[in-house]
């Protein structure tokens, strides 16, 4: 089971989503769910749901469907490091603070435990329960707090440099909000959150959907 190797990124992403939906259902008192119900909620097909659960080795009952709390436990065994994962955030600007504000306490096994900024005015403060440090303390704090994942919210011009420092300090995964592709060793996994790209994508697809149509009412 924890002999879990080679699950695709796509599947991991969906499992994360499924777990969130299942947790909400569990709160509402629901105990079982069918693949097509969950599929409908998540916006995917039922076959995909069944396949994803097959990948992690969870079986439901053809008569009752999936047992929600068991399923959550099973997904969590795949997604979560049992020790928990400590996360750092670098760049305590507008976006960095918004993320800290949003994220804290959301996932019990995934906690932001340190923030870093180059600006001396922003260090040695506690924001959302997270202490901010000077960049010069990065290596030490990352090691001390056993930080393995980091969120980058510095300006694009500093992102590569910051990423390298983080990797050098031992970080193995990054969520990058700066609009630049990071060049890092293959064993570091990076997820880019590029709002300009996303906007251009939806602008493109929203534009071609009414290729022949004209404008509606002014």
Ligand X SMILES: NC(=O)c1ccc[n+]([C@@H]2O[C@H](COP(=O)([O-])OP(=O)(O)OC[C@H]3O[C@@H](n4cnc5c(N)ncnc54)[C@H](O)[C@@H]3O)[C@@H](O)[C@H]2O)c1
Which residues of this chain interact with DNA, rule CB under 7 A? 8-11, 34-36, 44-48, 50-51, 53-54, 58-63, 65-66, 218
Q: What are phi and psi of 31, to 5 degrees?
A: -115, -25
Is the CB of residue 196 less than 8 Å from the CB of residue 178?
no
CB of 180 to a second copy, least distance (A): 8
Which of 3, 44, 10, 19 is closest to 191 using CA atoms? 10
Out of 150, 153, 166, 182, point to the residue binding ligand X (CB under 6 A).
Answer: 153
CB of 141 to DNA, least distance (A): 34
Give the whole-angstrom CA distance, residue 208 versus residue 16: 31
> What, of ligand X, a second copy, DNA, none, does residue 63 touch, CB below 5 to 8 Å by kind?
DNA
Residue 64 vs 156, nearer CB to a second copy: 156
Strands 126-127 and 130-134: antiparallel
Of residues 174 through 203, those in contact with ligand X by CB under 6 A are 177-179, 193-195
CB of 103 to DNA, least distance (A): 26
Helix (H, G, I), strand (E, B) or coil at 124: coil
CB of 102 to DNA, least distance (A): 26
Q: Kindly give, in sequence order, each residue whose CB lies less than 8 Å from that of residue 42, ignoring residues fewer than 6 positions away.
A: 14, 17, 18, 21, 49
Residues that bind ligand X (CB under 6 A): 90-96, 98-99, 101-102, 116-119, 122, 135, 153-156, 158, 162, 177-179, 193-195
């Amino acid at each position: 089971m924890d002999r879990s190797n080679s699950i695709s990124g796509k599947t991991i992403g969906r499992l994360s989503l499924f777990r969130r939906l299942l947790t909400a259902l569990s709160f509402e008192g629901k105990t079982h769910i069918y693949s097509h119900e969950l599929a409908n909620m998540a916006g995917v097909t039922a076959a995909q749901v069944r396949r994803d659960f097959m990948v992690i080795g969870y079986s439901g009952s053809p008569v009752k469907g999936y047992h929600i709390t068991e399923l959550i436990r099973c997904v969590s065994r795949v997604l979560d490091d049992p020790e928990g994962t400590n996360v750092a955030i670098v760049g305590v600007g507008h976006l960095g603070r918004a993320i800290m504000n949003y994220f804290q306490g959301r996932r019990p096994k995934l906690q932001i435990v340190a923030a870093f900024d180059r600006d001396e005015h922003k260090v040695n403060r506690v924001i959302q329960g997270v202490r901010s440090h000077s960049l010069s303390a990065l290596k030490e704090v990352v090691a001390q707090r056993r930080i393995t994942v980091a969120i980058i919210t510095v300006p694009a011009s500093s992102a590569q440099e910051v990423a390298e420092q983080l990797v050098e300090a031992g970080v193995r995964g990054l969520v990058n909000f700066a609009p630049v592709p990071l060049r890092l060793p293959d064993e570091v996994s990076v997820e880019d959150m590029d709002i300009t790209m996303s906007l251009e994508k939806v602008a493109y697809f929203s534009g071609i959907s009414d290729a022949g149509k004209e404008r509606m009412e002014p």
